[in-house]
């Protein structure tokens, strides 16, 4: 009986240590989206003319769910948070940062975060692929907002640290293609909502 009670107490403590934060971010620079081509995806515009259709190319670069809604993968936010947390040191840990802790114990849900603003334009710019210079067409969101939950599963991670990491991610890491973390300027954001549930 005692073992049973202790086990349940441990479970209760584990549940209590989980924190959920309702979060909303707003873009301060346009978001450039480029979904990795799915296996078997065709550029149907090439079938007749042999010339790529820029609208079709941009469409293929969108993340869309089964209902046709444009979304952002939660993994993009998680990766940005982990990268940003490399700048946040754990007190008393000899220079160790929160990167590993946040990478393992912080998650974002849902997996597919619906864009609150579904409108986009087509961006065209030269890129170098395997030493060849080509023009790539991608969807660009001049205005964008995302709302999601951040789940913190380790009591060693203060909620204030996650907020600092998200703020830093918005300004210096970003999400999407050609973001600050990859030497670009797109996908920067500010945090407009951060409420513990």
**Rounded Cα–Cα distance for residues 113 and 170 (Å):** 17
Per residue in 128-158, pLDDT (tens digit) is 777 778 788 999 999 999 999 999 999 999 9
- The predicted pLDDT at position 44 comes to 46
The average pLDDT across 65-86 equals 98
Segment among 43-47, 80-84, 189-193 with least mean pLDDT: 43-47
Q: Are strands 71-73 and 112-114 parallel, antiparallel or unpaired?
A: antiparallel
Whether 157 and 102 have beta carbons less than 8 Å apart is answered as yes
Is residue 11 in some structural domain?
no
Burial readout 118-152 (b: 16 or more C-beta within 10 A, e: otherwise): eebeebeeeeeeeeeeeebbbbbbeebebebebeb
What is the percent of the chain with per-residue pLDDT over 70, rounded to a whole number? 84
Give the closest residue to 188 by CA, choosing from 178, 158, 197, 78. Answer: 178
Average pLDDT over residues 38-66: 70
Q: Looking at 35-49, 104-118, 154-168, which range is the least confident one? A: 35-49
In-domain check, residue 140: yes
For residue 122, being part of any structural domain is answered with yes
Q: 98 in a domain, yes or no?
A: yes
Backbone φ, ψ for residue 149 (5° rounding): -110, 140
Q: How far is CA 24 from the centre of its chain?
A: 12
Q: What is the pTM of this model?
A: 0.83
pLDDT digits (tens, 9 = 90+) for 79-125: 999 999 999 999 998 889 999 999 999 999 999 999 999 999 999 98
Residue-level pLDDT at 1: 42
68 inside domain: yes
Q: Which domain holds residue 103?
A: 17-196
Instruction: Using alpha carbons, select from 177, 178, 181, 117 the residue that is nearest to residue 145.
Output: 117
Q: Which two tokens stand for residue 84?
A: 């940003």
150 belongs to a structural domain = yes
pLDDT at position 10 over 80: no
> What SS3 state is found at 26?
strand
Q: Does 144 reside within a domain?
A: yes
Give the CATH number of the domain where residue 146 resides.
3.30.70
Quick one: DSSP state of residue 62? S
Number of domains in the chain: 1
**Helices 74-84 and 159-168, axial angle in degrees (round to 10):** 100
Query: Please, which residues bridge with residue 109 across strands?
Result: 149
Q: Evaluate whether residue 6 is within a structural domain.
A: no
User: Which residue do the tokens 């952002």 mark?
Assistant: 72
**pLDDT band for position 37 (50/70/90)?**
low
């Amino acid at each position: 009986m005692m073992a049973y009670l202790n086990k349940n107490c441990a479970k209760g403590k584990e549940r209590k240590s989980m924190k959920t934060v309702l979060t909303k971010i707003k873009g301060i620079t346009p978001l450039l989206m480029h979904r990795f081509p799915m296996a078997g995806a065709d550029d149907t515009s090439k079938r007749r003319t042999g010339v790529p259709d820029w609208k079709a190319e941009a469409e293929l670069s969108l993340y869309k769910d089964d209902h046709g809604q444009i979304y952002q993968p939660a993994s993009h936010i998680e990766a940005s948070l982990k990268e940003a947390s490399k700048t946040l040191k754990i007190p008393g840990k000899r220079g160790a940062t929160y990167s590993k802790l946040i990478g393992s114990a912080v998650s974002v849900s849902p997996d597919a975060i619906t864009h609150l603003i579904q409108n986009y334009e087509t961006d065209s710019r030269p890129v170098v692929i395997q030493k060849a210079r080509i023009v790539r067409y991608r969807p660009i969101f001049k205005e964008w907002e995302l709302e999601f939950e951040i789940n913190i599963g380790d009591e060693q991670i203060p909620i204030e640290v996650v907020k600092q990491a998200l703020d830093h991610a918005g300004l210096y890491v970003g999400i999407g293609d050609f973001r600050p973390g990859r030497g670009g300027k797109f996908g920067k954001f500010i945090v407009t909502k951060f409420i513990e549930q």
